[in-house]
Structure 1
Amino acid sequence: MKNLLFRYVMVLFCSMVALDAIAQEGMIKGRILTSDGKPVSAVSIRLKEIRRGTISTEDGNYQLPKLPAGRYTIIVSFVGVKTQEQVVELSADQSIVTDFSLEENNDQLAEVIVTYGRGMNEKPVSAGKVSIKPMDLPQSVAVIGRDMLERQQVLQLSDVLQHVTGVYLMGTTGGYQEEIAGRGFSFGSNNTFKNGSRYNNGAMPEMSGVEKVEFLKGGNAILFGNVAAGGILNIVTKKPKFENGGEISFRTGSYDFYKPSIDLYGAFDKNKTAAYRINTTFQKNGSYRDDVKAERFYINPSFLVNIGRKTQFLLEGDFLKDNRTPDFGTGAINYTIANVPRSRYLGVSWGYNKAEQKTATATLTHELKKNWQLRGQASYQAYKVELFGAARPIGIREDGTWARGLQKSRTEEDYYLAQLDLTGKFKTGKISHTVLFGADMDQYKTRSFAFVNNRYNANGSDASIRNLNVYDTINIFDPASFDRRNDIPFLATDRITTSPIVRSGIYLQDLICVSEKIKLLAGIRYSYQHNQRATVDSIAKASTGYVSGYSNDAFSPRLGIVYQPIKQVSVFASYTNSFNVNTGVDVNNENLAPSIVDQFEVGAKTDLFKGLVSVNITLYQIVNGNFAQTALFLADGTTPNTNNNIRELAGEVTSKGVELDIATKPVHGFSFMAGYSYNETKYTGGNGRNFITGDRLRYNPAHTANAGLFYSFSEGSALRGFNAGMNVYYVGSRLAGRNPSGLNPNYKLMALPDYTLFDLSAGYIVHNFSLRLKMTNLLNKLSYNVHDDNSVNPIAPRQFTATIAYKL
Structure 2
Amino acid sequence: MRHFFLVFLLFTGLVGFTKTDSLLVYNHLSSIPELPTGIISGLVTTADHQPAAFVTISVKGANKFTTTDEQGRFQLSVREGLHTLEISLIGQLTQEKVVEVKKDQTTFLQVSLVQNAKQLEFVTITAQRTLNEKLTTIGKLPVQARDLPQAILVLDKNILEKQQVLTMSDALQNMNGVYIMGTTGGFQEEIAARGYAFGSSNTFKNGARFNNGIKPELSAVEKMEVLKGGNAILYGNVGAGGILNIVTKKPKFEKGGEISFRAGSYAFYKPSIDIYGPVNNGGHVAYRVNASYENAGSFRKGVKSDRIYINPSISYKAGENTEVILEGDYLKDQRTPDYGTGAINYVVAAIPRDRFLNVPWAYNNSTQKTATGTVTHRISNVLGLRGVVSFQQYKNELFSANRPNASGAMVTADGTWTRGLQKTRTAENYYFSSLDLNAKLKTGNIQHTVLAGADADRYRTIATTFKTYANPTTSNKNIYDTINIFDPSGFNKRGDIPLLPEERITTSPILRYGLYAQDLVSLFDNLKVLAGVRYTYQLNQTATVDTLSKNTRGRIASFSNDAFSPKFGIVYQPSKATSLFASYTNSFAVNSGVDIYNNALSPSIIDQFEAGIKNDLFKGALSLNFTAYRIVNSNFAQTALFLADGTTANNNSNIKELSGETTSKGIELDIQTRPVNGFKILAGYSYNDMRYTGVNGNSVNGNKKGDRLRYNPAHTANASVYYTFSKESPLNGVYIGAGAFYIGDRLAGRNPTNSPGNTYKLMPLPDYITADIHAGYSHKNLSLRVKLSNLFDQLSYNAHDDNSVNPIAPRQFAATAAYKF
When the two structures are superposed, what TM-score results if normalisation uses the length of structure 2? 0.91
TM-superposed CA distance for 1:83, in Å, is 1.8
* 607 and 558 in structure 1: CA distance in 2 versus 1, 3 angstrom threshold: same
What residue in structure 2 maps to residue 302 of structure 1? Answer: 313
Q: What does residue range 402-801 of structure 1 map to in structure 2 within 5 Å? A: 402-456=417-471, 460=472, 462=473, 465-481=474-490, 484-585=493-594, 590-628=599-637, 649=658, 651-687=660-696, 689-743=701-755, 745-801=758-814
In the alignment, structure 1 residue 104 sits paired with structure 2 residue 119:
no
Match for 2:576: what amino acid? K
- Conserved in 2, the CA contact under 8 Å of 1:79 and 1:114? no
- Conserved in 2, the CA contact under 8 Å of 1:437 and 1:509? yes
**SS of corresponding position for 1:514:** strand
- Conserved in 2, the CA contact under 8 Å of 1:629 and 1:690? no
- Conserved in 2, the CA contact under 8 Å of 1:632 and 1:640? no
Q: What does residue range 81-230 of structure 1 map to in structure 2 within 5 Å? A: 81-85=92-96, 101-105=111-115, 107=117, 108-109=119-120, 111-230=122-241
TM-superposed CA distance for 1:418, in Å, is 1.3
The CA distance in 1 between the partners of 2:801 and 2:386, in whole Å, is 43
Match for 2:804: what amino acid? S
- Conserved in 1, the CA contact under 8 Å of 2:359 and 2:492? no
TM-superposed CA distance for 1:263, in Å, is 0.3
TM-superposed CA distance for 1:438, in Å, is 0.7
* 449 and 586 in structure 1: CA distance in 2 versus 1, 3 angstrom threshold: closer
Match for 2:771: what amino acid? F
In the alignment, structure 1 residue 292 sits paired with structure 2 residue 334:
no
* 661 and 13 in structure 1: CA distance in 2 versus 1, 3 angstrom threshold: farther
TM-superposed CA distance for 1:269, in Å, is 2.5
| Percent identity (aligned) | 55
Q: Name which of structure 1's ranges 413-422 and 78-87 shifts more when overlaid on structure 2.
A: 78-87
**SS of corresponding position for 1:128:** coil
2:366 corresponds to which of 339, 355, 361: 355
Which sections of structure 2, spanning at least 5 residues, go unmatched?
A: 1-5, 18-24
In the alignment, structure 1 residue 334 sits paired with structure 2 residue 349:
no
* 376 and 51 in structure 1: CA distance in 2 versus 1, 3 angstrom threshold: closer
What residue in structure 1 maps to residue 22 of structure 2? Answer: none
Which sections of structure 1, spanning at least 5 residues, go unmatched?
A: 1-5
**SS of corresponding position for 2:132:** helix
Structure 1, residues 47-85: CA drift from partner, whole Å, max 9, x if none? 898998653213434468999x9x999653224421235
TM-superposed CA distance for 1:359, in Å, is 0.3
Structure 1, residues 692-731: CA drift from partner, whole Å, max 9, x if none? 0110110000000000111111110111111100000000
- Conserved in 2, the CA contact under 8 Å of 1:473 and 1:484? no
TM-superposed CA distance for 1:362, in Å, is 1.1
The CA distance in 2 between the partners of 1:127 and 1:478, in whole Å, is 51
- Conserved in 1, the CA contact under 8 Å of 2:452 and 2:517? yes
- Conserved in 2, the CA contact under 8 Å of 1:31 and 1:39? no
- Conserved in 1, the CA contact under 8 Å of 2:229 and 2:241? yes
The CA distance in 1 between the partners of 2:63 and 2:702, in whole Å, is 62
The CA distance in 2 between the partners of 1:408 and 1:586, in whole Å, is 27
The CA distance in 1 between the partners of 2:766 and 2:781, in whole Å, is 44
What residue in structure 1 maps to residue 378 of structure 2? Answer: 367
What residue in structure 1 maps to residue 20 of structure 2? Answer: none
**SS of corresponding position for 1:375:** strand
- Conserved in 1, the CA contact under 8 Å of 2:634 and 2:661? yes
* 110 and 716 in structure 1: CA distance in 2 versus 1, 3 angstrom threshold: farther
* 252 and 752 in structure 1: CA distance in 2 versus 1, 3 angstrom threshold: same
The CA distance in 1 between the partners of 2:794 and 2:641, in whole Å, is 44
TM-superposed CA distance for 1:309, in Å, is 2.0
- Conserved in 2, the CA contact under 8 Å of 1:80 and 1:112? no
**SS of corresponding position for 1:190:** coil
The CA distance in 2 between the partners of 1:686 and 1:105, in whole Å, is 64
TM-superposed CA distance for 1:628, in Å, is 3.4
The CA distance in 1 between the partners of 2:31 and 2:151, in whole Å, is 38
* 331 and 357 in structure 1: CA distance in 2 versus 1, 3 angstrom threshold: same
* 15 and 261 in structure 1: CA distance in 2 versus 1, 3 angstrom threshold: closer
What residue in structure 1 maps to residue 3 of structure 2? Answer: none
TM-superposed CA distance for 1:372, in Å, is 1.1
What residue in structure 2 maps to residue 279 of structure 1? Answer: 290
- Conserved in 1, the CA contact under 8 Å of 2:420 and 2:481? yes
Structure 1, residues 360-414: CA drift from partner, whole Å, max 9, x if none? 0111111102321111111110000000011101111111111111111110000
What residue in structure 2 maps to residue 3 of structure 1? Answer: none
- Conserved in 1, the CA contact under 8 Å of 2:77 and 2:320? no
- Conserved in 1, the CA contact under 8 Å of 2:538 and 2:561? yes
The CA distance in 2 between the partners of 1:89 and 1:361, in whole Å, is 35
**SS of corresponding position for 1:269:** helix
Match for 1:760: what amino acid? I
Aligned pair count reads 792
What residue in structure 2 maps to residue 807 of structure 1? Answer: 820
Structure 1, residues 285-342: CA drift from partner, whole Å, max 9, x if none? 1000010000000000000111122211111000000000000000111111110000
Q: Name which of structure 1's ranges 550-559 and 624-633 shifts more when overlaid on structure 2.
A: 624-633
* 48 and 787 in structure 1: CA distance in 2 versus 1, 3 angstrom threshold: same
The CA distance in 2 between the partners of 1:584 and 1:143, in whole Å, is 36
- Conserved in 1, the CA contact under 8 Å of 2:610 and 2:630? yes
What residue in structure 2 maps to residue 397 of structure 1? Answer: 412
The CA distance in 2 between the partners of 1:29 and 1:189, in whole Å, is 39
Match for 1:104: what amino acid? V
TM-superposed CA distance for 1:631, in Å, is 8.2
**SS of corresponding position for 2:704:** coil
* 704 and 550 in structure 1: CA distance in 2 versus 1, 3 angstrom threshold: same
In the alignment, structure 1 residue 325 sits paired with structure 2 residue 336:
yes
**SS of corresponding position for 2:201:** helix
Structure 1, residues 599-641: CA drift from partner, whole Å, max 9, x if none? 1100000000100011000000110123235789999xx9889
The CA distance in 1 between the partners of 2:78 and 2:580, in whole Å, is 33
* 478 and 64 in structure 1: CA distance in 2 versus 1, 3 angstrom threshold: closer
- Conserved in 1, the CA contact under 8 Å of 2:104 and 2:283? no
- Conserved in 1, the CA contact under 8 Å of 2:226 and 2:245? yes
When the two structures are superposed, what TM-score results if normalisation uses the length of structure 1? 0.92
1:249 corresponds to which of 260, 263, 273: 260
The CA distance in 2 between the partners of 1:738 and 1:23, in whole Å, is 71
- Conserved in 1, the CA contact under 8 Å of 2:50 and 2:126? no
- Conserved in 2, the CA contact under 8 Å of 1:346 and 1:476? yes
The CA distance in 2 between the partners of 1:96 and 1:494, in whole Å, is 59
TM-superposed CA distance for 1:468, in Å, is 1.3
**SS of corresponding position for 1:205:** coil
The CA distance in 1 between the partners of 2:252 and 2:52, in whole Å, is 15
Q: Name which of structure 1's ranges 694-703 and 577-586 shifts more when overlaid on structure 2.
A: 577-586
- Conserved in 1, the CA contact under 8 Å of 2:41 and 2:253? no
What residue in structure 2 maps to residue 57 of structure 1? Answer: 69
Q: Name which of structure 1's ranges 640-649 and 724-733 shifts more when overlaid on structure 2.
A: 640-649
